[in-house]
């Protein structure tokens, strides 16, 4: 027993030494306000999938931080040890309803928050926990011949559990969304009742071989730019802002630069250099820089980080993507167990991939089919193949006289 206690203390000491000195706590505000960005992530990912409008896509993943001191929660009472979590699932499937016309179904789901224990299905709902979920679904219709897509659906944001010191918030919010794409241009809107919450205009000019474009040449160096108008309230006043995101191929669809800039007042948000050894994007490396801002205190600084993405694992440290997706967590290693794969025709690639994954296809030929030994299974005599097909005799009814049934006790 003493040995177990010693082990436990050692583990705690090691965990504290390894992470607590570096990790910054996430704030209650970033946790409570995360729903807006989770919904936006869903719509942004859907927009990328709908660039082609057919094929299929699956994505499943969860952030994993093994130590409770890695992402503590900062409340008015102090720093609580526990776990920030974000579990996600996404799926898109389409079917050809008529030649060149595709009907698609989109389903995105995220469960996110912070709790005293890590979990997969059942949270502990500790006194200071906050558990929410966002479900986005929609239907899409694509005319492949004229290259346009229309899609629409709903977003449900549900508050599952909130501890006592979290501010009061609506426990169930319903949004609608719609998207229209023609060729490489798309418009996407998110609405709450009749109020537009965000409006995104995108142009993805870069040629993607998986979507029928060229794999080299000047057209693969055209930019992908989107501008999103977000509704925001600061200090009781509407302070809308526009975030412009620019993705630029720098070299052979393997090296990319990304910049996000907020207009009119906030300025630079983040930038990243991403390198994909293969344009299918199953493996990726990124270095990023993000400008952190605290409006109330009026300060900002630059945070540099990096991440490695492998087919089932993503590891990052101060990466801009993780900072935005995991409630502004920084100063600690963040692992994400994840898998995503998109298919279009015979092409297989990861999210945002430009070419098909280098997967080897082996064609297995059946050899010596004629000389296969007979008699290993049931074989019909040769004569039976020429005979008329067998007919089922079915259920045979026998007429029973009334006296007999009565003596047997009726039905």
Partner 1 sequence: MKRFSIIALLLCALTLTGCLSHWFTDSSTRLQVENKTERVFVGLDIVSEDGYTTIPWIRETLKPGERSRVYEQDWVGTFKIRLLFKSIHEICRINIETKERDCTAMYDQVSHTPLEFEFDGGSNYMILTDNEDGGVHILMH
Contact 166, 80 (CB under 8 A): no
Sequence length of the chain is: 411
Beta-carbon contacts of residue 229 (< 8 Å; ≥ 6 apart): 198, 199, 200, 240, 241, 242
**Sign of the alpha-carbon torsion through 161, 163, 164, 168:** negative
What's the rounded Cα separation, in Å, for the pair 14 and 89? 33
Nearer to partner 1, 15 or 158 (CB): 15
* Shortest spacing between CB 7 and partner 1, in angstroms: 8
* Shortest spacing between CB 169 and partner 1, in angstroms: 19
* Shortest spacing between CB 409 and partner 1, in angstroms: 41
Nearer to partner 1, 20 or 308 (CB): 20
Nearer to partner 1, 79 or 143 (CB): 79
* Shortest spacing between CB 73 and partner 1, in angstroms: 8
309 burial type by CB count under 10 A (0-12 exposed, 13-18 middle, 19+ buried): buried
* Shortest spacing between CB 195 and partner 1, in angstroms: 35
Nearer to partner 1, 17 or 196 (CB): 17
Nearer to partner 1, 125 or 137 (CB): 125
Nearer to partner 1, 66 or 267 (CB): 66
Beta-carbon contacts of residue 7 (< 8 Å; ≥ 6 apart): none
Q: Which residues bind partner 1 (CB under 8 A)?
A: 7-8, 11-12, 15, 66-68, 72, 76-83, 116-122, 124, 126-128
Contact 319, 304 (CB under 8 A): no
Contact 172, 158 (CB under 8 A): yes
* Shortest spacing between CB 18 and partner 1, in angstroms: 13
Phi first, then psi, for residue 118 (nearest 5°) are -85, 155
């Amino acid at each position: 027993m003493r040995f177990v206690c010693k082990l436990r203390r050692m583990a705690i000491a090691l965990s504290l030494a390894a992470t607590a000195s570096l990790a910054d706590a996430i704030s209650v505000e970033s946790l409570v306000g995360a729903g807006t960005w989770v919904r936006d992530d869903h719509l942004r990912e859907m927009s990328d999938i709908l660039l082609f409008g057919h094929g299929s896509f699956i994505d499943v993943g969860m952030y994993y931080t093994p130590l409770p001191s890695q992402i503590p929660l900062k409340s008015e009472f102090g720093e609580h040890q526990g776990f920030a979590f974000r579990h996600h699932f996404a799926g898109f499937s389409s079917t050809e309803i008529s030649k060149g016309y595709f009907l698609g179904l989109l389903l995105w789901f995220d469960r996110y928050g912070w709790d005293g224990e890590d979990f997969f299905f059942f949270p502990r709902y500790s006194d200071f926990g906050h558990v929410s979920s966002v479900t986005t679904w929609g239907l899409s219709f694509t005319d492949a011949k004229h290259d346009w897509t229309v899609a629409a659906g709903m977003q449900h944001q549900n508050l599952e559990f909130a501890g006592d010191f979290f501010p009061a918030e609506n426990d169930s919010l319903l949004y609608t969304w719609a998207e229209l794409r023609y060729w490489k241009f798309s418009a996407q809107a998110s609405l709450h009742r009749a109020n537009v919450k965000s409006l995104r205009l995108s142009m993805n000019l870069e040629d993607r071989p998986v979507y029928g474009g060229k794999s080299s040449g000047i057209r693969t160096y055209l930019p992908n730019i989107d501008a999103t108008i977000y509704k925001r309230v600061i200090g009781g006043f509407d302070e809308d802002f526009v975030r412009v995101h620019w993705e630029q191929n720098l070299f052979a669809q393997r090296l990319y630069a990304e910049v996000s800039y907020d207009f009119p007042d906030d300025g630079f948000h983040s930038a990243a250099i991403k390198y994909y050894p293969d344009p299918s994007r199953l493996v990726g490396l990124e270095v990023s820089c993000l400008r952190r801002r605290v409006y109330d205190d009026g300060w900002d600084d630059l945070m540099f980080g990096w991440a490695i993405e492998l087919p089932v694992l993503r590891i990052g440290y101060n990466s801009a993507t993780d900072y935005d997706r995991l409630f502004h967590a920084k100063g600690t290693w963040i692992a994400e167990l994840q898998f995503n794969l998109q298919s279009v025709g015979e092409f297989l690639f990861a999210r945002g991939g430009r070419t098909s994954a280098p997967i080897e296809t082996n064609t297995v030929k059946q050899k010596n089919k004629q000389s296969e030994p007979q008699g290993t299974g049931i074989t019909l005599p040769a004569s039976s193949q020429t005979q008329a097909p067998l007919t089922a005799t079915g259920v045979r009814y026998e007429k029973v006289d009334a006296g007999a049934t009565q003596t047997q006790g009726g039905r």
